[in-house]
Amino acid sequence: MDFSLSEEQKMIRDSVRRFAAEKILPHAREWEKAHAFPRDLLYEMGELGYLGVPIPETYGGAELDYISEAIVFEEVGYADSSVRTTLSVQMSLVELTILKWGTEEQKRHYLPKLCSGEWIGCFGLTEPNAGSDAGNIATTAKRDGDGWLLSGQKTWISNGTWADVAIVFAQTQPGSKHKGMAAFLVDAKTPGFTSRKMTGKLGLLASDTGELFLDNVRVPDSSRLGEVGEGFRVAMSALDNGRYGVASGCVGTAQRALDVSVQYAKERVAFERPIAGFQLVQDMLAQMKVDTEAARLLVYQAGWVKNQGQVSTIPVSIAKLFATEAAKRNADMAIQVHGGYGFSDEYEPEKLWRDSRVASLYEGTTQIQKLIIGRDLTGISAFT
């Protein structure tokens, strides 16, 4: 495995880094207070190819590799996790799922609009009583002539109230668990489809999180994504992509926590010397550096596997597990390095801490990643 970036990957990194430094980072705190960032930002990102990195040019994407995708998520995540969350849902959970499971007509209809930022997508899997236990979804899909009637509720849906299209998972045979699940592409303007913004979050305040309500939403059979009964497979393959996006973004968060801590430690004077000269402060900075580099290498390893077209579930779970926990550790350590100022919103560490906390929850909790890895090691599932 070659750990050096290609010239093309370096160009992508430098381009996104400049964009994030100019267009995102200076406004992150302002957007957090407003509980939203400008949707026009996504149009700009679409024009630059950042919304469709691994999508073929045929469908409006940039047709780049998965290491390039990770670089985009890392650089955007370095500037603001709220924007990165919106970006990774759009690209990892929605676009790549349509690319893998969609018909040619679906791909040509949806992907160009999503890659350009004209449309925003969301991923409707989680429900009030179905998070990690995805097979327990209560949303139903009932046959209605040549179409389907969808009814149910989804919660904690990133991009939920912004979305123009939603991938909605529903149960076609109540009581059949995974066997009866199906996935549907639903236009948000369809009668019976409504959404409501969720507030009171700890972090990611500038990202859109909503609840979706479906009241006999009628969709044609042509909106089905994959076959009836394949919904669980669609969801799990999507989550593999989503976890890769989260892990990549968390590398950026970990790096940001390290950078602001090093800068502060050099500037902050105590006992007539910069605190960077104290060994216990250096110990914290060193551990943050190790965690950041290890997380990045695990993400790149998972990206290399994805680039080979190999099954990437385990490498992605390993990367997601380590990178999300590393981001949390680094953000917490950054608060410690900053001392009392780290507890204040005058400095970044408290925001980094709040934003990183959810990363070990969504797209599969830390505990779920451990179960996936443990099952692979032993061949024994924790689930009946």
Residue 137 and residue 111 in one domain? no
2 in any annotated domain: no
Cβ neighbours of residue 138 closer than 8 Å, sequence gap 6 or more: 127, 129, 130, 152, 153, 171
Residue 96 and residue 182 in one domain? no
CATH number (domain holding residue 143): 2.40.110.10
Residue 242 and residue 363 in one domain? yes
Q: Which domain holds residue 293?
A: 233-378
- What pLDDT is stored for residue 135 in this prediction? 82
170 in any annotated domain: yes
Residue 241 and residue 224 in one domain? no
Residue 191 and residue 174 in one domain? yes
Q: Are the C-beta atoms of residues 217 and 149 closer than 8 Å to each other? A: yes
**In angstroms, how far is CA 381 from the centroid of its own chain?**
26
384 in any annotated domain: no
- What pLDDT is stored for residue 381 in this prediction? 77
1 in any annotated domain: no
255 in any annotated domain: yes
Residue 253 and residue 190 in one domain? no
The total number of structural domains in the chain stands at 3
CATH number (domain holding residue 322): 1.20.140.10
Final residue belonging to a domain, choices 66, 93, 120: 120
- What pLDDT is stored for residue 1 in this prediction? 65
383 in any annotated domain: no
Residue 241 and residue 330 in one domain? yes
- What pLDDT is stored for residue 270 in this prediction? 96
Final residue belonging to a domain, choices 120, 147, 180: 120
Residue 111 and residue 77 in one domain? yes
Residue 257 and residue 363 in one domain? yes
- What pLDDT is stored for residue 163 in this prediction? 98
371 in any annotated domain: yes
Buried b (16+ CB within 10 A) or exposed e, 244-253: bbbbbbbbbb
What is the phi/psi pair of residue 374, to 5°? Answer: -65, -40
> On the CB side of 187, how many CA atoms lie within 13 Å of its CA?
12
Residue 266 and residue 305 in one domain? yes
CATH number (domain holding residue 112): 1.10.540.10
Residue 60 and residue 33 in one domain? yes
Residue 320 and residue 218 in one domain? no
- What pLDDT is stored for residue 383 in this prediction? 58
Final residue belonging to a domain, choices 229, 249, 274: 229
207 in any annotated domain: yes
Per-residue tens of pLDDT for the chain, all 384 residues: 677 999 999 999 999 999 999 999 999 999 999 999 999 999 999 999 999 999 999 999 999 999 999 999 999 999 999 999 999 999 999 999 999 999 999 999 999 999 999 999 999 999 999 888 888 899 999 999 999 999 999 999 999 999 999 999 999 998 777 788 999 999 999 999 999 999 999 999 999 999 999 999 999 999 999 999 999 999 999 999 999 999 999 999 999 999 999 999 999 999 999 999 999 999 999 999 999 999 999 999 999 999 999 999 999 999 999 999 999 999 999 999 999 999 999 999 999 999 999 999 999 999 999 999 999 999 987 655
Residues marked as catalytic: 363
